[in-house]
Amino acid sequence: MAARSPVITGLGIVSAAGFGTAEVWRTVAAGASGLKPLTLFQSPRYGQIPVGEIQRDLIALGVPTRSSRSDKLGWLAAREAIADAKINFQNCGDRAGILLGTSVGGSYDSELFLATLIKRGKMRARPTRFHECSTTVDLIAESFGLFGPGMAIATACSSSALAIAQAAEMILSGETDVMLAGGADSLSRMTWGGFHSLLLVDATGCRPFDVARGGMSLGEGAAILVLESEESARRRGAKILARLSGWGMSCDAYHATAPHPQGAGATMAMQSALRRAGLEPSAIDYVNAHGTGTRDNDVAETIALKTVFHNRVPPFSSTKRIFGHALAASGAMEAVVCVEALRHQELPPNPGFTKCDPAIGLEPVVELRHAPLTHVMSNSFGFGGNNGVLIFSKAETTPQTRVPKKIQVVVGGIGVIGPGAVTIKEIGAPLPPGKGPVHSCGVLKDAAMLTPNQRRRLSRLQQMALITARKSLEFSGAGVSPASCGNFAGELTGKMPVPLRIAVAIGTGLGCLEDAGAFIENLVAKDEREPMPARFPNSVHNSPAGQVAIDQSARGMNSAPTVGEITFECALWQGISQLANDEADCALAGAADETDKYLLSIGQRWGAWDDKIMPGEGAVVASLLPAGKIASPLARVTVVKLGRYRKPFDAAREAEWIAAAVDLSKVEVFMSGAKGFRQLEPMYESVAAALSERAGKKLAHQTYKQLCGEFHAASAFGFSLAVKLAHEKNCGVLLYTLSQRGAKALCLVQP
Amino acid sequence: MQISTHELKSKIIESLKLQDITPEQIDDDAPLFGTGLGLDSIDALELVVLLEKDYGIVIKDIEEGRPAFRSVQTLADFIAAKRPQ
């Protein structure tokens, strides 16, 4: 399968250490640091602490102005990568996509909205238009004409490593030929105040692996790789810069912020990446470490390195003092460093290190030096114990990368919380800080099944995810969960390992709005005094998935896709991909979203809500298993396909896209996201008609938003209805979902 | 000046949102972290905020606070010693 093995044909990077691969490599090679005092926003308490801030005028570089700061950084990296690869997406049809890691998203811009509201009492909602983490994907896809799958992953500091890994899975499975893969994150008051509240910032700039290290340095930036199948690269005569030969994803399932003290999850991810690449540990010539410079990370990571490499740890270094820790973008930025290291056959240095820490007992590379490099590894670890590891190899090597199998997937159980639609009468005027939301769907009926620590510490969104995940596993035999209020009784057949290897993909469109809102409100109102350290870890989009992992000891891939209305389908795709790649025995796929006072009042300002279109919230998690592993599954999931629609919207073209993936003779019900936002209504109706015409029979058109309200995770409810119909009425259901920003997804559920 | 451990316990319960527990149920010398009340590193950071907000004591390195966070009594002693007069 060498033809489908992923290769890298283009690189783009913007950072505090320079713009463009050439400039960045010069900074890296010199071991120079891009850290400087903060100028982007006022920080009364921490303003003098060095940070990896980009201080160039982005607008002057030609970026689209209707965008967030993260969007602008991502767009610049994409433009460079595309030019570097000399690729024209017009020749790619629907077979070129984009997968980015983003964690902060448009937070920097949305904070301006909160600051204006709190300090001046004025509601200016415009800066929140690009709040969502997925807007960077949408902007780049639209700007450069990508119509294949588009997805954003928000797993904090490992986001872009996961994005690159999953883009590779899409190429390897044959779903796409070309993917832009990487990440983008800007600085924001939230992450700045947040990491300070956790006392994790080194006031003198980070010193990874040094005995006197005192924490991390924050940074920002973006990096994007053009990843394509080898046959695609050869066909168009592209220069292959390097190969992506292995990747591994795992979860510590240990703590919301702290790494596992012995680096257990990091070890698993590195070993998984080596297995995937078909390489022995001794084949790795260099490791670009996560190396944040915090006391805990650097110790845990080096323990993991010693375990994986049997105490013969290859040369390693952290480049965090060069860039600052650019959170979701860091994995992609370090991927660029790894590819350049391979091309130059040079080991990048680790500025900030002067003296060995006896607790570590290893020294990183201190100065740039020549070394023969064939295979190099890059580590990225994030909040929620989320780990992503990538292995890059010289272009001239022969890939041994393991390929996924084609498998049948069934739904074992499903947990649903909701519907919790808010009626228009319950939405008040814009609310000043301090007042609670007026909506009434905030009480969780099943919260009693959670532990006191889960109840006091976790946000409502995380609690919803925990409860639905537990319910989804309550089919007899998989009894990982301590709770017992499910309604599904099946039996496990065949041989299943104990314990089950569980992967988790729980997406969210907007994340923990209440905790993120409260954290920023407090930061702005009190000028960074009295922060809320317990709220900050909840603000990352992968906190529900991470908490589910802890609750279920789920140490497989842990992902949080965030892609507007198709968030759930992306989670479904990720879960199935883990099963097909034999990295999990069971995958929990779901989506969750909550409303808060700002979402309600901004929506009201924009006229989004009326008597028929009500904001909603809730969570759905389904447990997925390979067919044949349980005796009486609820339903089969036979097709999941992601993409982007063209504008103007063409229903006949959509029907053709669906018919290419789905046998329409097996479909009785067309389940759509209509009855929500008005602009999507005629699009759904026209596709329903075009599809009936194509199928030569009248498909029943069913909708779900009248039941659960309008919110990003709502298609998960559509899925739960589809499973119910397939199970009880024995009919095939096609779930078809459009996002307002151009993404689309289909999913076929069969008895 | 020594501070009341009862008052300190009430503040801890409130700031950490501890559920189903009263100040009377917390022993002055019982460990706060690990086995005792079952607090974790994020609770320690909340205690850092509490020390600054209510007692004007600024902790910049969590290691500095670690000996003080052993029990309610050690925390009360730490506050008495460090509190700006």
Domain residue ranges in chain B: 5-82
Average pLDDT for residues A607-612, to the nearest whole number? 84
Average pLDDT for residues A347-369, to the nearest whole number? 98
pTM of the prediction?
0.95
Where are chain A's structural domains? 2-393, 409-634, 638-750
Average pLDDT for residues A71-88, to the nearest whole number? 98
The model's pLDDT over A630-644, given as tens digits with 9 standing for 90+, comes to 878 899 999 999 999
Residue A422: per-residue pLDDT: 61
Average pLDDT for residues A643-652, to the nearest whole number? 97
* A162 band by pLDDT with thresholds 50, 70 and 90: very high
Reference A592, options A472, A739, A716; nearest CA is A716
Q: B80 at the A interface (CB within 8 A)?
A: no
Average pLDDT for residues A309-328, to the nearest whole number? 97
Task: Look up residue A272 and give its two tokens.
Answer: 């998984």
Contact B19 A530 (CB under 8 A): no
Average pLDDT for residues A98-126, to the nearest whole number? 91
Range in A299-303, A400-404, A569-573 the model is least confident about? A400-404
Residue A692 has pLDDT above 80, yes or no: yes
Task: Tell me which of 1.10.1200.10, 1.10.645.10, 3.40.50.300, 1.20.1260.10 is the CATH number of domain B5-82.
Answer: 1.10.1200.10
Is A638-750 a domain of CATH 3.40.47.10? yes
Residue A486: per-residue pLDDT: 27
Residue A700 has pLDDT above 90, yes or no: yes
Residue A441 has pLDDT above 90, yes or no: no
Residue A269: per-residue pLDDT: 98
Residue B6 has pLDDT above 50, yes or no: yes
Residue A494 has pLDDT above 80, yes or no: no
Amino acid, res. A573: W
d(CA A414, CA A693): 33
Residue A428 has pLDDT above 60, yes or no: no
- Look at the block and give the residue holding tokens 């009492």: A121
* A475 band by pLDDT with thresholds 50, 70 and 90: low
Range in A10-19, A356-365, A385-394, A600-609 the model is least confident about? A600-609
The CATH class that applies to domain A2-393 reads alpha beta
From B16, B38, B45, residue closest to A199, measured CB to CB: B45
Contact B49 A457 (CB under 8 A): no
Q: A359 at the B interface (CB within 8 A)?
A: no
Percentage of chain B exceeding pLDDT 70: 98
Contact partners, residue A696, CB within 8 Å, separation at least 6:
none
- CB neighbours (10 Å) of residue A73? 29
Residues of B in contact with A530 (CB under 8 A): 49, 52-53
Q: A200 at the B interface (CB within 8 A)?
A: no
C-alpha Rg value of chain A to the nearest Å:
24
Find residues 526-545 of chain A whose CB sits inside 8 Å of chain B: 529-534, 537
Residue A424: per-residue pLDDT: 56
Percentage of chain A exceeding pLDDT 70: 93
* A434 band by pLDDT with thresholds 50, 70 and 90: very low
| DSSP, residue by residue, A493-522 | -S---SS--EEEEEE-SS--HHHHHHHHHH
- CB neighbours (10 Å) of residue A173? 16
d(CA A231, CA A677): 42
Residues of B in contact with A519 (CB under 8 A): none
Smallest Cα distance from A255 to chain B, Å: 9
Q: Please give the interface size between A and B, counted as residue pairs whose CB atoms are below 8 Å apart.
A: 47
The model's pLDDT over B60-69, given as tens digits with 9 standing for 90+, comes to 888 888 899 9
The model's pLDDT over A40-57, given as tens digits with 9 standing for 90+, comes to 999 999 999 999 999 999
b/e per residue, A366-404, with b = 16+ CB within 10 A? eebeeeebbbbbbbbbbbbbbbbbbbbbbbebebebeeb
d(CA A246, CA A392): 7
Q: What is the predicted ipTM?
A: 0.94
d(CA A448, CA A456): 12
Range in A199-208, A655-664, B20-29 the model is least confident about? B20-29
Contact B42 A456 (CB under 8 A): no
The reply to whether A409-634 shares the fold of A2-393 is: yes
A335 three-class SS: helix
Residue A703 has pLDDT above 70, yes or no: yes
Reference A5, options A224, A242, A210; nearest CA is A242
Is the CB of residue A99 less than 8 Å from the CB of residue A179?
yes
Residue A440 has pLDDT above 60, yes or no: no
Task: Look up residue A681 and give its two tokens.
Answer: 């209504």
d(CA B27, CA A188): 42
Range in A20-24, A135-139, A346-350, B28-32 the model is least confident about? B28-32
From B16, B42, B60, residue closest to A257, measured CB to CB: B42
Percentage of chain A exceeding pLDDT 90: 79
Q: A199 at the B interface (CB within 8 A)?
A: yes
Q: B49 at the A interface (CB within 8 A)?
A: yes
| DSSP, residue by residue, A606-647 | TT---SS--B--EEEEEEEEETTSBSS-SEEEEEEEEEE--S
Residue A158 has pLDDT above 70, yes or no: yes
Range in A326-330, A367-371, A434-438, A461-465 the model is least confident about? A434-438
Contact A534 B45 (CB under 8 A): yes
Smallest Cα distance from A299 to chain B, Å: 16
Smallest Cα distance from A521 to chain B, Å: 16
Residue A488: per-residue pLDDT: 28
Task: Look up residue A695 and give its two tokens.
Answer: 């199928």
C-alpha Rg value of chain B to the nearest Å:
12
What separation, in Å, do the N-terminal and C-terminal C-alpha atoms of chain B show? Answer: 9
What architecture (CATH level 2) is domain A409-634? 3-Layer(aba) Sandwich (3.40)
Residue A617: per-residue pLDDT: 86
A106 three-class SS: coil
**What integer best gives the mean pLDDT of chain A?**
91
- Given the residues A131, A196, A260, A290, the one annotated as active site: A290
Amino acid, res. A184: A
* A125 band by pLDDT with thresholds 50, 70 and 90: confident
- Given the residues A196, A260, A325, A375, the one annotated as active site: A325
* A739 band by pLDDT with thresholds 50, 70 and 90: very high
Query: How many angstroms separate the Cα of A352 from the Cα of each of A213, A290, A725?
Result: 9, 14, 60
Residues of B in contact with A203 (CB under 8 A): 60
**Higher per-residue pLDDT: A41 or A120:** A41
**Higher per-residue pLDDT: A242 or A633:** A242
Average pLDDT for residues A279-287, to the nearest whole number? 98
Average pLDDT for residues A120-142, to the nearest whole number? 93
Strands A221-229 and A178-185: antiparallel
Residues of A in contact with B38 (CB under 8 A): 453
Residue A463: per-residue pLDDT: 92
Contact A197 B49 (CB under 8 A): yes
Clarify whether A290 is annotated catalytic: yes
* A698 band by pLDDT with thresholds 50, 70 and 90: very high
Find residues 456-475 of chain A whose CB sits inside 8 Å of chain B: 456-457
Beta bridge pairs of residue A216: A201
